[in-house]
């Protein structure tokens, strides 16, 4: 809890610096302008653990892959490249973990506001595990007249752990710290709230090991 509070304070101290504010604006601008834009008022939000198959589903679904894709991974990569104070071992215990989380939330919200104002169709490719955080993002879409859809990506836990361990092995082979399994066990699993049908206009459940990606949202 103390690390989380310190991360919050350090984030806003960093943002008092005009240079950092300008850098953050650049990240937001780059994200907004980096993809084709489909003018269709639909907001699709994925829900699911890291490595559960969310990005694979999007890539293999014609409807989802055509939308403006806002990915947590892309946001993290751009923030890490832009801000030296975020450069750590990228684990849940890294010194910049909570600063990265807070900056990611700020970036995501501002990007969504910009693309929603233009009527651009969006797929939010992120874990979106907390009902509170989902509500905030879905509310912005609803206020802009968007149809909202949650796609809940489910993966059998044994298979999920296998994928997380394989991802960690790849990190270790490249000389980096393992983080994926710990992220699931120490952070994501504890904060997950299963989606409710009242959260969005439509809630779709997709089992990554069984269902056909092309059959979703047809």
In a domain? residue 46: yes
Residues 172 and 134 occupy one common structural domain: yes
Same domain? 103 vs 144: no
pLDDT for res 38: 84
Residues of the chain with pLDDT under 50: none
Give 20-38 pLDDT, tens digit per residue.
999 999 999 999 987 777 8
| Residue 141 contacts residue 43 (beta carbons within 8 Å) | yes
Task: For the chain, give the number of residues.
Answer: 218
Sign of the torsion angle spanned by Cα atoms 174, 169, 153, 217 = positive
Q: Are residues 58 and 113 in the same domain?
A: no
Residue 154 lies in a domain: yes
Instruction: Give the full edge-to-edge strand order of the sheet including 42-47.
Output: 68-71, 122-125, 42-47, 147-154, 202-207
Structure tokens at 59: 């890539």
Considering the domain architecture, whether residues 76 and 159 belong to the same structural domain is answered as no
Is residue 120 within 8 A of residue 66, CB to CB? The reply is no
Structural domain count, the chain: 2
Phi and psi angles of residue 100, each rounded to the nearest 5 degrees, phi first: -65, -40
Q: Give pLDDT, residue 7.
A: 78
Structural domain span for residue 108: 1-34+69-120
Asked whether residue 125 is assigned to any structural domain, the reply reads: no
How far apart CA 58 and CA 205 sit, in angstroms, is 14
Q: How many CB atoms lie within 10 A of CB 204?
A: 15
Identify the pLDDT of residue 102.
93
pTM value is 0.91
């Amino acid at each position: 809890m103390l690390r989380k509070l310190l991360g919050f304070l350090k984030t806003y101290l960093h943002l008092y610096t005009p240079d950092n504010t300008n850098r953050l604006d650049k990240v937001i601008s780059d994200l907004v302008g980096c993809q084709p834009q489909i003018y269709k008022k639909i907001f699709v939000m994925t829900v699911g653990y890291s490595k559960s198959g969310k990005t694979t589903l999007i890539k293999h679904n014609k409807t989802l892959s055509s939308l403006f894709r806002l990915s947590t991974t892309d946001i993290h990569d751009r923030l890490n490249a832009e801000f030296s104070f975020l450069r750590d071992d990228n684990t849940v215990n890294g010194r910049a973990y909570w600063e990265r989380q807070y900056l990611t939330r700020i970036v995501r919200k501002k990007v969504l506001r910009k693309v929603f104002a233009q009527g651009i169709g969006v797929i939010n490719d992120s874990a979106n595990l907390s009902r509170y955080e989902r509500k905030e993002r879905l509310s912005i879409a609803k206020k802009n007249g968007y149809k909202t859809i949650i796609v809940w990506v489910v993966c059998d836990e044994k298979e999920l752990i296998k994928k997380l361990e394989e991802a960690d092995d790849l990190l270790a082979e490249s000389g980096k710290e393992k983080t994926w399994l710990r992220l699931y066990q120490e952070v994501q699993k504890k904060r997950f709230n299963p989606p409710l049908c009242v959260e969005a206009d439509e809630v779709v459940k997709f089992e990554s090991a069984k269902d056909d990606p092309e059959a979703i949202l047809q």
